[in-house]
A and B are shown apart, each in its own frame.
Chain A
Amino acid sequence: MKRFYLYGVLLLLSSCQEEVVLELKSQEPTPIIEGIWTDAGTINHVNVSWSRDYYSQEPNAPVEDAEVFIVSPTNRERVNFKYSEKSQRYLPDDVLGGKIGDIYELNVKIGENRYVSRGEMLAPPRLDSITYSYKEGRAFRDDGYFLTLYGDIPFTEDNNYRVRIVRNDTLLNRRSDYLLFDDTFGTTILTKGFELSGFAFEDKDKVRLELYRLNQDAYDYMSQLVNLLFNDGGLFSPPPENPKTNIEVVAGEGEVLGYFLVSPILTQTIRINPE
């Protein structure tokens, strides 16, 4: 990474950075909805909050009185969510989670406004094993222990995946920690052994890995979110835009931001423990 900075310096030579304060406009708070619905019921939740001014250092103001539920038109089930003061999010009454192959519809009602989003609980790929080995530093990475995932992606469509990594009970959530992949480069990636070359681990690290299979709209949202995190506002970046939400305003007015993720989740934990 340092070498990229070197090239940045060489290209731009006398470029400099400094913090400035710009006068920015503000607007009425916009509702933000973040719904997570997996086949692992304990992690399912819905966050509902309001946006705030750019320079505000307060946390997002949660919406505590929304009506939140998920219905499945395929299995005719309804799961209600209740607001938890402790976690400041809506948690489901039912901890069973979703079922593979079913379609789920998130409903959120804030005052007179109603918001809806749908997603299908797709079948997960197969994750057989995770190995690790020590690698020397190369052009795009430091030295350390690197994980390799083995399994199989048997699908010809809806190949949109996200890997989340928790190292020693801490979620890796820098912008460079997002690992999203689709089938642009084929579907044999797990068969051949998918090395997570962006993540170097150390001896004794405990690593929990979560593999999600996303619907296209949720994957697009995540991709655009990552692009926005890397958008430097310069000439070489596209005009910044809010990630395109997959949530619709079906009653009321105004816009809504956020996403509804319906996905199976595969989880494995490994400890780096070389001999």
Chain B
Amino acid sequence: MRFLIAFGLLMVFRSFIPEPALAQQENMLTGTILEFEKEEPLPGANIYWESAPRQGVFSNSDGEFSLPSIGLPAKLVVSFIGFQKSVRIINSKDLEKSLRFYLRSEELALDEIIIRDRQPDQNVRSLDMGKSVIPIATIKNIPALFGEVDLLRSLQLLPGVQTAGEGTTGLFVRGGSADQNLMQLDGAPVYNPSHFFGFFSVFNPDALEGIEFYKGNIPAQYGGRLSSLIDVSVREGNYDKIKGDGGIGTISSRLTVDGPLFSDNSSFLFSGRRTYADMFLRLSSDPNINNNDLYFYDLNGKLTFRIGQKDKITVSGYYGSDFLGLSGQFGLGWDNLVTSAIWNRNINDNTFFDLTLYHSRYQYRVNFDDPDSGFIWQNRLSESGAKAEWTYLPSGSSVLKWGLHSQYYNFAPIELNPTQGSILESINTNARNGVQHNLFVSGTADVHPDLRVEAGLRWGLYQQVGRGVDYFYEGQLPAPGIPVTDTLFYSSFENIKRYQGLEPRLSFRYLVREDLSLKAAYNRNFQYVQVASNSSAGLPLDRWIPAGTYIEPIRGDQFSLGIFKNFNNNTWEFSVEGYYKDLKNIVDLRQGANILFTDNVETELLSGLGYAYGLELLLRKNVGKTTGWLSYTYARTWRKIMGISNDQWYNPRFDRPHDFTMVLNHQFSPRWSAALTFVYTSGQAVTFPIGSYEVDTQRLPLYSQQRNEERFPDYHRMDAAVTWKSVNKGRKWRGSWNFSIYNLYGRKNPFAYQFTEIINEQINFDPSLGDEIYSRRPGVVMTYLFTFLPAITYNFEF
């Protein structure tokens, strides 16, 4: 460990020492530029490194070029008048072969070019398991609910990813719950990634560069969550001229502007999005309606500074807010603030350094303006961190990475303060804080021409620290009604409880043939913070809790095995992946738990075990006029928590064994394109009554002691979208129209079943109106959402 720290410090020190002038490059990058539509050589294209734009070359009459390499990895830019610019990250291994670049005319969409940003045979040759890189252009093509392109909802179309229910953006990855996904924006975590109670995600697609989604083999440089990493990056502003794009949609509009800042070595990007439901409410003449508020908005910003040939600094920020207000008397608002600063330095040709500093804060506020029982209730949580990472490319295709990551969690006290005249008394819990230090190292190498191995190790040291309070219970068993025998108060940063754990990461790829490989991976992850909730969808008031004296960190072990095959000259990709995941110390709530206001939250929790397994099949086509994928997943997940489900194994609600997805995009012409998606999944696991009885004048459903033994009917839905683009004829303003339909054939997929009394043969009878009641009988009322929901969006660029 000392060695690692000393080596890390040495590399930091070295990064500040000027390097001697680069020697003449021996390695040359060679390749061919082709016109996409005709697959013909494109002479005269400009090829240059993004960091050295004045040292480019032109392709010859055969479309071929040869460019001296610089420190890799680096971004290579290929441009030609009348064609979309292509940017591709080049690694040292790319020097060993001749590359092919396809450029499309400006009239066509970008999506297929961007998909080609991957190596054509990456599916087979890489170590990636359970990893998806989804181009934003692809996400934008997928038909969207209300026409709102949504990153998280798009991820639900991938194998192994389940949704909590109709329309929601919560992700349940390979049997893990929604709080087991690390969602980060430019390296900073996002604690509540949803708007509108989970129906939309906080990620504005116009501001994004791309997304990397890991659900299997999570690299050692990442940690903190068990099930997945969703690594979202905001795009940099361009360095040439001011550009903009945006859209006017059914429920929101958005605008993004980017361009050079001060010089061609710096750039900016600002992006905003806002809904306008509340503006329509204002049009109502009914004061009960026009006094209300309902909106969300997002703001993204990014500044990039290139300092010399070796350094780049980016500063990124996000702020998003939701608000629901009733007549000025009740308000519920929540917001995320996510900021990060990243310094990238090319120390030399084969050593790179990245430093990330970040701060992420989530808070909510509920205010009730009432003279008798008014209150203001608020809470806040934050994570601040610093991560230093070094990458060393010793030779060939080997990669060595190491670094450290320190985090500070602050879960502020829950504050409820009565307003003047209120009969309520204030509530103030104690803060819960945590400090976490992580060291990581990983190495990737070809140990044999056909066998590539990645081995990583992450070590986490977590402490719950003061300022805070720890309670001691009779018999050391926290539970409702158990007396507190002692209370200890801790000063700032004083240790309360310490945990540590090693997290090995291993993966192998064996190349059977050029187009066929076998892969295997093992991952262990610890998670030191989690949400205490027993509802299946995330809510703004969800309470995050850190590990402590009574709450142990969750541990997840995942084994995965896969076969990867490409067909037809890498036009088609096919994969089969199987996995088994073991979970320890996962928590659920006791029956009737009250966790919102208590300082003894440990008395309301139960912990136990879980496991999940599954088989995922994916057939994908990335090139040509028709692209998309077909996927099928068979997956199961189970929990066993003493005190729940009669102490027996049970399925959580998101256990949905069969999941079939089809995503199709087709480019009919430069103007017209269309997309179609279809999903078919098993119904959610739920608990239905097995009888009924009466107590206290109420008729109650009688439930089995076993949880979630029944299922909703199977879920299926088809969505479609058509896009029309104006062909660029040198005009600065380019527009496109997108028309989409969600749930094309109007399937009534149940959102909820309520077991209730049908009074006077009306499913929504309101007894408070005083109408005579002449009949009552037991019944089941189904709620369903979004049948045949059309939306139209106008998108533009300038």
Contacts and interface: CB of A to CB of B under 8 A. Distances in A.
Nearest to A231: B754
A2 B768 CA distance: 12
A259 B777 CA distance: 24
B537 A10 contact: no
Interface string A166-179: 00000101111000
B423 interface: yes
Nearest to B709: A25
From A1, A21, A224, A237, name the one whose CB has the most chain B CB atoms within 10 angstroms: A237
B693 A30 contact: yes
From A53, A193, A222, name the one whose CB has the most chain B CB atoms within 10 angstroms: A53
A156 interface: no
A232 B781 CA distance: 9
Interface string B767-787: 110000000011111111111
Given A11-B197, A15-B783, A52 B691 contact: yes
A240 B754 CA distance: 10
A19 interface: yes
B786 A27 contact: no
A155 interface: no
Contacts, number: 231
Interface in B298-345: 324, 326-327, 329-330
- Interface range on chain B (Cβ under 8 Å from partner): 35 or more
A240 B701 contact: yes
A103 interface: no
Given A19-B782, A52-B691, A57-B777, A227 B592 contact: yes
B697 A173 contact: yes
Contacts of A56: 692, 778
Interface string A35-77: 0000000000001010111111101100000000000000000
B592 A239 contact: no
A56 B693 CA distance: 10
Contacts of B535: 235-238
B765 to A, nearest CB: 11
A244 interface: yes
B692 A53 contact: yes
Interface in B750-768: 751-755, 758, 763-764, 767-768
A2 B767 CA distance: 14
A30 B597 CA distance: 36
A192 B423 contact: yes
Given A27-B691, A51-B693, A54-B691, A225 B700 contact: yes
Interface stretch (A92-100, A113-121, A180-188): A180-188
Contact of A22 (B694, B748, B753, B758): B753
Contacts of B784: 15-18
A102 interface: no
Interface residues of A, number: 82
Contacts of A232: 752, 754, 783
B539 A236 contact: yes
Given A186-B424, A234-B783, A235-B536, 18 more contacts: A17-B782, A18-B781, A27-B702, A51-B692, A52-B692, A57-B778, A140-B329, A184-B594, A216-B481, A225-B700, A228-B701, A232-B754, A233-B755, A236-B536, A238-B534, A238-B589, A244-B591, A259-B695
Interface of A: 1-3, 6-7, 10-22, 24-27, 29-30, 32, 34, 47, 49, 51-57, 59-60, 138-140, 171, 173-176, 184-186, 188-189, 192-195, 197, 216, 220, 222-225, 227-229, 231-244, 255, 257-259
Interface of B: 146, 164-165, 168, 196-197, 199, 277, 288-289, 292, 294, 324, 326-327, 329-330, 370, 372-373, 416, 423-425, 427, 480-481, 534-537, 539, 589, 591-592, 594, 597, 653, 686-698, 700-705, 707-708, 710, 748, 751-755, 758, 763-764, 767-768, 777-787, 789
